[in-house]
Amino acid sequence: MKRSTPLGLASSITAAALGLAAFQAVADGHGRGRLPQLAAATPAALAGTCEELAARASGLPGTVITGSTTVPAGTLALAGQPVAEHCRVTGKMNERISPADGKTYAIGFEMRLPKAWNGRFFHQGNGGIDGSVVPATGSFGGGPLTHALLQGFAVLSSDAGHTLAQGGPAFGLDPQARLDYGYQAVGTLTPMAKQLIAAAYGKAPDRSYFGGCSNGGRHTLIAAARYPNDYDGYLAGAPGYRLPLAALANIFGAQRYASVATADPSTPAGLETAFTAAERRTVASAVLARCDALDGAADGLVQDTRACQKAFSFTRDVPTCPGSRDGSCLTQAQKAAIAPIFSGATTANGERFYAGFPFDSGLGAGGIPFWEFTAPLALDSGAVGVIFKVPPSAQALANGPAFSLGLDIDATLAELRATNATFTESAMAFMTPPHASDLSTLRRRGAKIMVYHGVSDPIFSVSDTEAWYRGLSRETGGDPEDFARLYRVPGMGHCSGGPATDQADFLGPLVAWVEQGRAPGSIVASARGAGNAGGVNAELPASWAPNRTRPLCPYPNVARYKGYGDVESAASWRCRPSRHHGRHDD
């Protein structure tokens, strides 16, 4: 629910071969007919000057262009690489005064348009509750070495129809602002952006892509479901595609922690006394002791997540304190309180409403406390109480901790699905993809989707994303890998960080798949140790090589050590099925 820092991109895209037929047929490899092959994008140069562009784009429906200026080469840089000269265009759409709260709303945006354009459009889905027009670079975190703007894409960023200055989650009091945040801002911005590109270059984009992490990943999956004809490639990181339920599950977790906290649980520091940093490291060490070698090498990473969940027992393998707590054990009361957070949030009668979280090596990482102990009091309270619930709650704005710790989970679950005369779409309607597993239109037209997710993500469960992917499999009558791939990143937290190889290029393989028909296999990811050009990850264990690489495998395969070669090198690993061949846990 916070501004996201998605996974990094590690290599630039080479120019695709020109002259492919727009819908060249290719075999899908699964006996289900043939999928179309989309043509490659072709470059173009900006027509005229940036300052002239505002006048040329003045007739865009519902749009006010507020600025169009030249950004000289080198003004922006990434990993030591200067971004080429481009136009920065700012504007707003559908400005209005809300009858609900009297505030002025609009969909604010910026576009960055390279002078030398590669023919592609990238719609940047932003994180948290949006509300800010962040730079339209198409940048992915985790130590990015390149981004979409650097590669020559035209890139769009928006605030999704509200500003944080209007009171953070208070925009949820306005019904239209809720809908814009959920999905309608994307539907409004997309045709405008393509028309603006046409005004700038004399042609619309040949290929269009949508991507983001966290809430940006949610935006991506919603765009894939609601707007399958508008984009050719979708790149979703840690997609909180059931965000209202994930936020409520995080509040459920806070209530569990509060039951064993030894200080005031209405403060993040007090809530953290339920499961301290030392205790989280103890659990992570126990997971590694039981699961690290399941992939053939004891290297500080758990590659075979499914096998680990069968091998590891929270009750058995984590030491139980014989007396007072000292960080090396958990009390029986702690285990009883914390276990349901990992197994999945439930209603009072035990019905699970959100996925569980797998035990993984990143449980002791520094990014965990924010999501576990701060977010439910400061972020999820406002999101659930004001943006998602029908009716919204005044208490959630006035006292977030009291709202979350006293929340009736069962009643709120019903309110996430409720509507009334003012709020005619429920949170579960406007915040989630309709028919999330049915991407048949996207598939039939030759579009592709790639998803990545950290196994140690503490706010959006990788298990939930796995369940979504299995839904695609059921919907397509088999393996959906002819148009969709899922990559799990062991050890990685929310979008980046943790003891993980979290620097990887997904956009390059996605473009190659969409425009050249080269289906992605394993993707090499790097650790960000000392000297990394994209930024150092301080959470890497000292025992790792600073430039460790690992293959990220298409789900459900996992990386397994070959038994020979440098354990720090991806070349010594290969993607194989999990050792556990039982049923999947939903």
Catalytic residue among 68, 139, 208, 214: 214
User: Per the structure block, which two tokens stand in for 454?
Assistant: 């950290």
Closest CA to 129 of 190, 184, 181: 181
Residue 30 CA to residue 36 CA, distance in Å, equals 14
Active site residue 457: yes
Active site residue 68: no
> Is the N-terminal amide bond of 265 cis, ω within 30° of 0?
no
Is residue 353 within 8 A of residue 443, CB to CB? The reply is: no
Closest CA to 120 of 88, 148, 84, 78: 148
Active site residue 494: yes
Output the CA–CA distances (angstroms, integers) from residue 204 to 191, 235, 439, 522, in the order listed.
10, 21, 25, 33
Catalytic residue among 482, 494, 502, 578: 494
Q: Count CB neighbours of 265 within 10 A.
A: 24
Alpha helices in 57-184, H assignment, sequence order? 175-179
DSSP 455-488: TT-SSS-HHHHHHHHHHHHHHHTS--TTTEEEEE
Burial group, residue 559, by CB count within 10 angstroms (0-12, 13-18, 19+): buried
Cα angle: 386, vertex 245, 464; to 5 degrees: 150
**Nearest 10 degrees: Cα torsion 190, 195, 200, 205:** 60
Residue 248 CA to residue 341 CA, distance in Å, equals 12
Please give the sequence-ordered ranges of beta strands (E in DSSP) within 424-541, or none if there are none: 448-454, 484-489, 523-526
Residue 396 CA to residue 410 CA, distance in Å, equals 17
User: Per the structure block, which two tokens stand in for 132?
Assistant: 């800010």
Is residue 248 within 8 A of residue 354, CB to CB? The reply is: yes
What is the Cβ-side half-sphere exposure of residue 269, based on CA atoms within 13 angstroms? Answer: 0
Catalytic residue among 174, 206, 292, 457: 457
Question: Which residues does 14 contact at the CB level (< 8 Å), separation at least 6?
Answer: none
Q: Which residues are catalytic?
A: 214, 457, 494
